[in-house]
Structure formats: structure tokens, C-alpha cells
Structure 1
């Protein structure tokens, strides 16, 4: 396993012994260009006062990770995993996400948008799925009708596979200009750039970190479009 993947494993493990045991098993496997954890993403673009102020994420983990992560967390044995019982694990995840820039890259054109530490974060467990909710505020708001605002959620090592959900996964909050909408995909002008980055990572990190850069080729970019009046 690559050094990046080991760090990602530490983030995902939290304090759960069962997950630690599973990770030890993974560490014995040869590194390969495939994910070990799957996350379904839903994001709301936040608007306030005529500007985009941040992103509100919901990450739903796959059933295998969910089953391992929740072991031992039902403190009162009632079969319900309350937000309070999941609070410690949520804090561990949020603290660990900082090392990976929250797997989120937001840009205005090619300029990266800096974010503040997450707020309003918590875990919930519903229908056998564990989900992490958190909001990433921007350091500086972006004009609501900016034509070149975009963001992506991905892990470049491809240890974690992020993908947007099938049913309306990107929403715009109240305050969005009329006629604005989100599109998910890899724009033509970015696809070649992502492929070059992927090849570049593969060439520079062949033996030690052979997975690094793989996730770039699978990243889906969200772009916002607004009709001009």
C-alpha cells in the first residue's frame, strides 16, 4: 500500500478496532489501481447575499465500511446509532480530512478557492448507510453569477472512489440567481489536463506510490451555468 493510502487508511479507521483489523489485512496486499472505499457524494452550493459562500457535503459510505465503522458505537444497545454516539468518530474524520484538503477542490477559472475549517459536521446512520455531513465555508465569497466557478471531489491516490449520486446530487441553495444550474462531467478542456497530470504522477511515483494520481482521471467536475439576462 502506498504512503498516501496508508494515511487515508488512518483517516478512515478512526478509533474502531474492527476497521483497524480490516486495514491491517489491506496493508498486506500489493498496491493496485483500484479503490478500497466507495463514497457517494451529494453537495449543495451555498449562496448568501449575491455570492457563493461554500459547499455543503453529504458523503455516504459503502456498506462494507459502514458495517465496520459502526461496530461498538451503539453505547446504549438500543439498535439506533444516534448522532451523539457517532460524534467522536465524526470528529476523528473531520480532523483527519484536513491532511487531504477535504478531498475537495473548488476553483474560479484556474485559481483555487481557499476554504475555512469545516462547520456543522456530524455522522448519521440511516437505512444501513453511514453518512458524513459537513460544510466547507470559503475564505472569500465568489460572485453568484461567476461564469467559471467549478469544483470537484476526488482522491488522487484512488484509495477512495468518490462519485456523485444518480438522483439530483448537486443542488443550489436559496439565494441562487434565477436560471443557474449545475452540470456534472469532465469538461473537454480539463480532460486532457487531467490525463497529463495522471501520466505525470504515474511517471514520477512509479515504485513507491504507484496509485498516486489515479483518481484524477476519474474526477468529475461540477460547473455552474447561469442564463444572462
Structure 2
């Protein structure tokens, strides 16, 4: 519905629309996010788990008509069509997730682990974005960014315990959640962009949205 209203506004996931034009440079949907960096038994980064909590206005729109038995509770079976539509739509946007290793964007695999719940009057979508090929963080820096490049959807980490580690992270490594850019840093970035020509692109084939996204990194000491 996030995706479909972007299409209704340009026409959210089962009634919204993920492909808003760049001119719509302010958010219409707000998401609070938590994530887990997942390590396999070999100490490689293998996936990123994401938990999104949607704003109340979007949730009300997305849930409209889904309580088919009228009991005031949204069961898994009632939420399932919305969940599958969201995941299918998000696939076209690579789940707003950019994973890099040594500066190079890493291809992601098929998202097969996902679900959605309605709890404490909040709609939450969770899913795992796997790396097609796991990476060894002792060989270089791993960086994850989750953001909508069109700014139609604001995706921001929660303040408390926004990111955790699951699995066998090497002892020489640490999780670093870099802070949200300050207003001064945002203005500095905007000023820099204003000096660039229309054909300028950020380094490493990043888009403009990446300049404002909050990075999560795995940094390891070199033996």
C-alpha cells in the first residue's frame, strides 16, 4: 500500500505509491525503523533485518476494509494480502536498502522472510534483506543505508537501540551507527549540491538521497 498511493499522488503500500517524482521532495509517509545486522556462522555479514512501524495516518488508510469479519482485530490472514502487496512493490525499489562493501554496492537476494502485525494500535512490517553473496567485514567496511531517494517516505531510526547484531560477528569488529546529519551538515550538503552541474553524481554511484541517509557500519580492526 505504500507503493500504490505514490501512484495516486503522482497514483502508499496497498494504496499508496512508491514512485513519487523528485518534485515531491517532502515525505507523505513516516516510518520508525529498527534493524539487525545478521552474521552467518563464518562471521560474514549475510543479511539486514528491518522492522518498520508506520505512522497512524498511513496505517488507517492501509487497514481500511481489511477487518473482514468486523471483530476489530486484524488477524494474520486479514493482513496477508497487504503484506504480500507491500513486499512485491518494495522489490521494485530494492526495499529502499543499499548495502555496500568496500564502497561497492552489493546485490541483494530474494526476500522470503517477512510478515506484518497490528499491535498496540501500530502497524509493523518486518522483513529480511539478504546479501546475494555474504561478505567478510574483516576484509573491508560494510555499510547499510535505508532510505527513499524520492523523499516520499521518511524512514528514520528510533532513538533507543536502533540497531543490533545477530549471529557470529568477529571479535575484532564493532557495530557503528552514525548519527543523523545535523541541520548544519544538511545545509552544507545542500550548498555543495547547488554548486554542481546537472550531470554531477555522488561518488560510488550513489544517488542524492544517500547523502542524507543515516549509515550503519561494521568496522573491524586489521590484524
Q: Give the TM-score normalised by structure 1.
A: 0.75
Partner of 1:40: 32
Q: Confirm or deny: 8 A CA contact 1:46 1:172 kept in the other structure.
A: yes
Tell me the equivalent position of 1:136: 129
Give the gaps of 5 or more residues in structure 2. 200-206
Residue number among 90, 98, 118 corresponding to 1:97 in the alignment: 90
In 1, the alpha carbon distance for the partners of 2:169 and 2:85 equals 33
Instruction: Say which SS state the counterpart of residue 75 (structure 1) adopts.
Output: coil
Distance 1:85 1:73 in 2: 6
Q: Distance in 2 between matches of 1:214 and 1:36?
A: 19
Alignment counterpart, residue 153 of structure 2, candidates 153, 160, 164? 160
Residue aligned with 2:92, SS: helix
- Other-structure match for 1:12: 12
1:1-229 map, 5 Å: 6-7=6-7, 12-14=12-14, 16=15, 31-50=23-42, 51-178=44-171, 180-185=173-178, 195=189, 199=193, 204=198, 215-227=209-221
- The answer as to whether partners of 2:28 and 2:153 remain within 8 angstroms in 1 is yes
Paired with 2:81 and 2:9, the residues of 1 have a C-alpha distance of 17
Alignment partner of 1:65: what SS?
helix
Closer/same/farther in 2, CA of residues 107 and 216 from structure 1, 3 Å limit? closer
CA offset at residue 223 of structure 1? 0.9
The separation in 2 between residues aligned to 1:153 and 1:71, in whole angstroms, is 27
2:137, 2:218 within 8 Å by CA — same for their partners in 1? Answer: no
1:224 counterpart SS class:
strand
Distance 2:150 2:105 in 1: 20
- Find the aligned partners of 1:8 and 1:48 in 2 and give their Cα distance: 41
Q: What's the offset of the Cα at 1:64?
A: 0.9
SS in 2 for 1:168: coil
Structure 1, unaligned runs of 5 or more: 21-26, 206-212
Q: Helix, strand or coil for the counterpart of 1:145?
A: helix
Cα distance change of structure 1 residues 6 and 199 upon mapping to structure 2, 3 Å threshold: farther
| In structure 2, C-alpha distance between the alignment counterparts of 1:8 and 1:228, rounded to whole Å | 50
Judge conservation of contact 1:172–1:181 (CA < 8 Å) in 2. no
How many residues are matched?
203
